[in-house]
Chains A and B, each alone.
Chain A
Amino acid sequence: MKESRLMKGNEALAEAVIRSGCDAYFGYPITPQSEILEYLSLEAHKRTGMVVLQAESEVASINMVYGAAGTGKRAMTSSSSPGISLMQEGISYIACAELPCLLVNVVRGGPGLGTIQPSQGDYFQAVKGGGHGDYRMIVLAPSNVQEMVDFVRLGFDLAFKWRNPVMILADGALGQMMEKVELFEQMQRKTNIEPWATVGKPKDRERNIITSLHIKPDKMEEINLHLQAKYKEIEKEETRFATIDCDDAEVILTAYGLVARICQKAAQLARAKGIKVGVFRPKTLFPFPYDAINKLAAKENIKGFLDVEMNAGQMVEDVRLAVNGQKKVEFHGRMGGIVPSPEEILAKIEEKFVGELV
C-alpha cells in the first residue's frame, strides 16, 4: 500500500532516495538543498545500510560518485547551482565513462554566489552539457513535490538503462515547499553485478577499466559517435511531457518545473477572461520534446507561444527551434530569485496576444 505524507521537497526526495535502494550518497552542504544530506545522514544508514558521506567539497563528492558508480552501485549526489558548477569536470568524465548515477540540482539564483532563492538559471548548464566535450545528461524537471519523489526512482532506472548520468533539475522553491506526497514502497538494494563494473577481476573475464581517456583520435571519435548514437536513442524513447488544455488553445504557455504550475493558474485566469490558453510542460529537458511542440505549432487554432522561465530566456531557445518559425514565440522571464505570478503572466498574454486573437 502506498504511504501518504506531508513533506518538504528536499526531504521527500531524500526519503525516495532511501526507498529506491540507493547504495551511496556523497554530498556537501549548500542552501537550498542541505536537508537532503541532513535527512539521509539521520535516516539512511540505519534503514538500508546505504553509505552517506559528507565530502570535503562538491569536487570530491562527484568523484566519489564516479568511483562508486564505477562499481555498478546506485550512487548519487545533490547540490545547488554553485556546487553543481564545481562538479562539471566530474560529470563530463562520468558521461564519457558511461557511468549510471543520479545528480540533483536544487537550483538557486545566479550568476556567481547569487541568491538562495529559486531560479531556473542552470537550464543551459544541465541540458546543453555544462562540462567540457560533447555529452548529454538525461534531465528530469519535477513540477511538484510528488515528482521530486517519483523522479528519483525513474532517474535511477534511466541511469542504468542507458548507462548515463541523470539529473533532477529542481529549484529552491520545490526543495523548500511542503506538499502531500505518495511514497513508493522500499525497494531492495542492488545485488546483481554489472558486467562492466570494476568489482575485482575474476580469472574468467577480462579486466574492466573505467576511463574517459582515449588518446588515439580514431578511438576517441568512435567513443563520441557511440555516445551520440545513444543520445539519439534516448531522444526517441525517453521524451516525456505533459499538455494541459492545449486542444482548443489559441496561446500555449511553455514552461517547466515550478513555473509550469504557475502557468496553469495563469491559463485558468486567462480562460476566465475568455482567452483560450493551454500549457505545455516538458518533463524531460533532455531529451527535449521538439516533435510534440512542432506538431502543436502546426495546429491552426494556435496563434503563438509564450515561454515563461525563471531566467533570462534559456529553454525558449529550444521552444523556438521546435516551433521553427511556424508561429511567434514570446518570452517572459524573471531572474535573481523572483518567482513570476500568475497575474503578471496573464498580463503578458494580454500584451502580446490580445488583439490578434479572434
Chain B
Amino acid sequence: MSIDILIPLLAATVQSGTPILYATLGEIFTERSGILNLGVEGIMITGALVGFLVAKVTGNPWIAFCAAGLAGASAASLHGFVCLVFQGNQVVSGLALTILGVGFANYLGTSYVGQSAPGFSRLPIPFLSEVPFFGAIFFNQDVLVYITFVIPVVMWLFLYNTRFGLNVRAAGEYPAAATAAGLNVVACRWLGVLAGGFLMGLGGAYLSLAYTHLWTNNLTAGRGWIAVALVIFAFWRPGRAVFGAYLFGGIMAMQLRLQASGTPIPSSLLLMLPYVLTITVLVFSSWRRGKTDEPAALGTNIAPAD
C-alpha cells in the first residue's frame, strides 16, 4: 500500500476512533468506581443530539461540546439514582437508559435529520504537524482529537497517583473495606458515574460536531456498546483503551473507504465488520485474562447500612 493511501487512512482511523475513545474512557472511569453502566449508547446519542442542538442555537461549538458533556452526565445521573439511591439492578438500569436515550435523541432529532450545525474543523498544530508520517496522522486533526491525547494521561495520573483516585478505585474494588476505613463509597461512585457520563456525552458530541457535522437518527450506531466491550479489551486501563479505540477506528475507516471505492462486497457485509470484530476482540481478551484491573465489586450495589 502506498504511503499516499496509508496516511489518509490512518488519519481517518484516529478520527473515527476518537468518539469511541471518549466513551471507553468514560466507561472505564465509571466501572473503576464499581458501577457497571450499560447506558453508554443512550448517553452518547443524547450527548450527540444536545451538542448538535446547542451548536445550532448558539453557533458556538465549544459551548455545544460542554453542553453535550453535561447532558451526558445528567443522563448518567439517572443510572446513578436508580443504582445508588434506589438499589436497582445495574444491568437492567443501563439497558433502560440506552432504550430511553436512543428514544429521546431520535424523538427530538427527527425534525433535524439531514441538517448541519457549526462544528469543529481541522486545526493543524504548528511544527508537530510537519513531522513526517506521524504529523499528518496525529497532529493534523481537530481540537477534540488532541483533547483525547491528554485525557488518558490525566485519568491514569488521577486513578493511580492521587488520593481521590485511590478512593474511587477502592469503591470499585472493596466497598465494604472502604466504608470501614471511613470512606464515603456512595460519593466516590457518584463521581465515577457523573464524570464517566460526562466523557460519554463528549464522545457523542464528537460524532455530531466533528465527525459527520450533521444529524441523522441512530447516529451512534452501536459505538456505545463497542465502548463497553473495549473496556474489557483495555483491561480497565486508560492507556490500553487508546489502542482498542484506534483498532475500531481503523476498521470503520477501512469499511467506509471500501464502500466508497465501489467494491462488489455488499454493504451489509461490510457494515458487519465492527460488530464481528467486537466479538473477536472480546474472545481474545477473555482468553488470557488474569492480570486485568477489573474492579472486584463491579456491578454490585452497596446495601444501605442499618
Interaction A to B: no
**Which residue numbers of B lie inside 8 Å of A, CB to CB?**
none
**Which residue numbers of A lie inside 8 Å of B, CB to CB?**
none
